[in-house]
Amino acid sequence: MNTSLDTDAYSVDPDSDNISIDGTIKFCADLGVDPEDVVMLAVAYELQSPSVGEWTRKGWVDGWKKLECDSIPRMKAAVAQLSTKLSNDTDYFRSVYDFTFNFAKTEAGQRSIAIENAVAFWSLLLPAGQKGRALQHVDAKYDGDEVIYTPSREPGWKPEYNDLWFQFMTEKGGKGVSKDTWQMFFDFIRTIDDKFEKYDMNAAWPSTIDEFLEWAKERIN
């Protein structure tokens, strides 16, 4: 087995096979990626990293195998691909996005993540999705219980609304962001129109998003 496939190269703790913060920095340097680049979230998802700067041996080995990487150059290529996929593939974006909620937890068993923390991760993820097609505006058509999303011609969520959301969450978001709010926010920004007019207060949105809408409506129009 190639050494770069194993965790030994980056594991600084002699008693453990796992990689921690220092190893992560070295590893990023080898890949030529900024540790704070959003693609690291995709890498973390692929290698099933339990939390920021932590990598288990099993996740590491299985992950790279799945990506068919056994050398730094192949890893570099894979990372570049992940970056494009993250920006353009909605399903993939959603998987990484949902994964990020647990990844962002600072303590095991936490039910919500701190607003500050959530905003930091949103600041990475949202622009990445907005750069490509991953978060493009969609129309929802209902077919019985099913819903079919098709790309919309109408303008939708604008990148500058991100800051509005951050401001709202910081000022009015309360203690933290629940998993439900985190996940539903993804659906929300894909389906909402740019004037926030087609929003249904009675639909299944979490009340935090209802409140945001009321709060933001005055500010965007």
Partner 1 sequence: MTKLNDRWSWWLRRIRVLRSALVYLDVAYLATNEDKLTIQDAAFHRFEDTVVASTTVTLKLEAALKRWSEQRRAGENTEDYDDQLRLVVDCMSTLGCYDDQVHQPYLRFTSDHYTKKSQMAPETNAKDYLLMCIQDISDEERRGADILREETRRDASVTALSGLAMEHMDYLAKDGLAEIITSRNKTLFHQLYNLIGRLTSVSTTWKTSPSDALLAHYRNDVFERVKGTILDTANESSMVENLLELKEFLDECLSADYIDDAQQNDRKFTHATSEAFERGFSTRKIKPAELIAKHVDSLMRRGQKAASDQEFFAQLKRDAVYLPTIPDKDVFRAFYTRALAKRLLLGRSASDDFEKQVLAELSKSYDAAFSDMTQMFNDLAISKDLMETYRNTKDQEPARPDPSLTVMVLQHSVWPVIRKVSKLDAPVELRLPSQMEHALNDFIAFYKTQHSNRKLTWAHYLGTATLVARFPSGKKELSVSLYQAAVLLLFSERDDWSTEEIHGRLGLALPDLTPTLQSLALGRKLVLRRTQPRQGKDVRMDDRFSFNEDFTDTKVKLHINTIQQNDTMEETQQAVKVIDQYREASLDAAIVRIMKAAKTMKHQQLVNETIDAVSKHFRPEVKAIKERIDSLIEREFLQRNEDTGGSNKLRDTYSYLA
CA pair distance 209, 182, nearest whole angstrom: 10
Determine the number of helices (DSSP H) and then strands (DSSP E) in the chain: 9, 4
Quote the least distance from Cβ 30 to partner 1, whole Å.
Answer: 33
- Identity of the residue, 26 or 85, whose beta carbon is nearer to partner 1 in the bound complex: 85
Rounded Cα distance, 20 and 17, in Å: 10
Find the shortest distance in angstroms from Cβ 89 to partner 1: 10
Burial class for 94, CB neighbours closer than 10 Å (0-12, 13-18, 19+): middle
Please give the biggest Cα pair distance in the chain. Answer: 60
Least distance CB 173 / partner 1 (angstroms): 13
Contacts to partner 1 by CB under 8 A: 90-91, 94, 111-112, 140, 142, 145-149, 178-181, 183-184, 186-187, 190, 201-208, 210
CB nearer to partner 1: pick between 207 and 221:
207
In the complex with partner 1, the residue whose CB is nearer, 29 or 147, is: 147
Q: How near is the Cβ of 81 to partner 1 at its closest, in Å? A: 20
149 or 215: CB nearest partner 1:
149
Query: Shortest Cβ distance from residue 124 to partner 1 (Å)?
Result: 19
Q: Return the number of the residue (18 or 191) whose C-beta is nearest partner 1.
A: 191
Task: Give the whole-angstrom CA distance, residue 139 versus residue 187.
Answer: 11
| Residue 136 CB partners (closer than 8 Å, separation 6+) | 90, 151, 152, 156, 190
SS3 62: helix
Cα-only R_g, the chain = 19
